[in-house]
Amino acid sequence: MTRPRRLLAKRPAFGFSLIELLVSLTIGLVIAIAAMSAYLGTASSSKMSEAQSRMNEDAQAALNVLVQQIRLAGANPAQPNRADAFGRNPVYNPTYVGGSVTAYASGTTTYTVTVAPSAFSIRGCDGTFSNITNATTVPNLDSFANCGTSTLPDSIAISYEADRFNTIPSGTAPTDCVGSAIPTTISATFPSGTSTTASFRVADNRFYIESSSGVPSLKCKGIGSGTQPLVENVEDLQFMYGMVSTTATATTATVAGYLTAAEVEALAITPSTANDNSVRWGKVMSVRICVVVRSESPVVSDLASGRYYKCDGTLDSSQTDRRLRRAYTTTVVLRNRRS
């Protein structure tokens, strides 16, 4: 006989208790927070690293431009095909170290030139020359008294004989710092030598800091009317000038110390002449450059991380925009000052 099937008792269905659910949610939340923190930390580190890399590139670009231009200051190549004792082009009326010497008049031998040779190959200002964009020549730039204060970004004017080898040519003409062709500046007739007539082009490049739409940039004013921003986010520009002793008379003299532009123009010149300023700037043998570059956007997490050492070596704790900043320095020897 068959046995009757036993009815299986229905077991009650069990789910998660409230405590288990809360524990699970807590663990999941902890894991999510840890993952999010790791992601944010990596993203912040990546953002900081990218900002530092961009700042290094901007600083390198700014220093490369300034170093290249300052090295050219006073370039005035020797001319072996002329009988003149100096053998140099009549671009400058140079002030050699230790005194004022007119290089283009030797006894009764003189040049006939269309424009008076310049007395400056380099000139600086603690602040920005008030007429930096409209002064016709370097000697016409305002004196340091009209520059501003030493807390402002500095400016500098540099001139040199330009050709297609030391600039990027536009056709056969050399160019200034904004890419414009430099016109013929000086024409001369020589009293003797193989070449009796020639024309020369002189670069006159001025560098300064100016903000546009809230973005500070290293800018250049060329010999024409144009200006050009070269590198953005360059916030400060400071120069110190390596000087020889005021009594030194040789172009091989060593640097005695570094002065600001105002201190250069305040040097006592003995005997005093009408060209004291050109004599003073003729004693500059090297230039120390410092640029302060900032990050393009805020990247630091707290104000303390935004502190940086300025060009004068002091710590700046006043910045509140959470941007990263750093000062970059280098020193350039004015090769054309050496004999």
Over residues 140-166, the pLDDT tens digits come to 887 655 565 567 899 999 999 998 889
81: how many CB neighbours lie within 10 A of its CB?
8
Q: Return the sign of the alpha-carbon dihedral for residues 163, 164, 165, 168.
A: positive
Which span out of 45-54, 108-117, 225-234 was modeled with the highest average pLDDT? 225-234
Q: What is the pLDDT averaged over residues 307-336?
A: 92
What is the predicted pLDDT for the residue at 63?
97
CB atoms within 10 A of CB 337: 23
d(CA 52, CA 60) in angstroms, rounded, equals 12
Contact 234, 209 (CB under 8 A): yes
**Mean pLDDT of the 231-253 span:** 82
Beta bridge partners of 291: 237, 328
- Which of 17-21, 166-170, 260-264, 327-331 has the least mean pLDDT? 17-21
Give the mean pLDDT of 27-44.
77
Instruction: Give the number of residues written for the chain.
Output: 339
Q: Which residue has the higher pLDDT, 226 or 78?
A: 226
- The mean of the pLDDT values for the chain is 81
What local confidence, expressed as pLDDT, does residue 98 receive? Answer: 42
Both structure tokens of 27: 């663990």
Q: What are phi and psi of 139, to 5 degrees?
A: -60, -25
Residue 124 CA, chain-centre distance (Å), reads 13
- pLDDT tens track for 82-118: 555 556 677 876 554 444 444 454 444 556 777 777 7
Contacts of residue 91, Cβ cutoff 8 Å, sequence gap at least 6? 76, 117, 118, 161, 185, 186, 200, 202
Q: What whole-number distance in Å separates Cα of residue 94 and Cα of residue 129? A: 23
pLDDT at residue 64, as a whole number = 96
> pTM for the complete prediction?
0.81
180 and 222 Cβ atoms separated by less than 8 Å: yes
Half-sphere exposure of 323 (CA within 13 A, CB side): 17
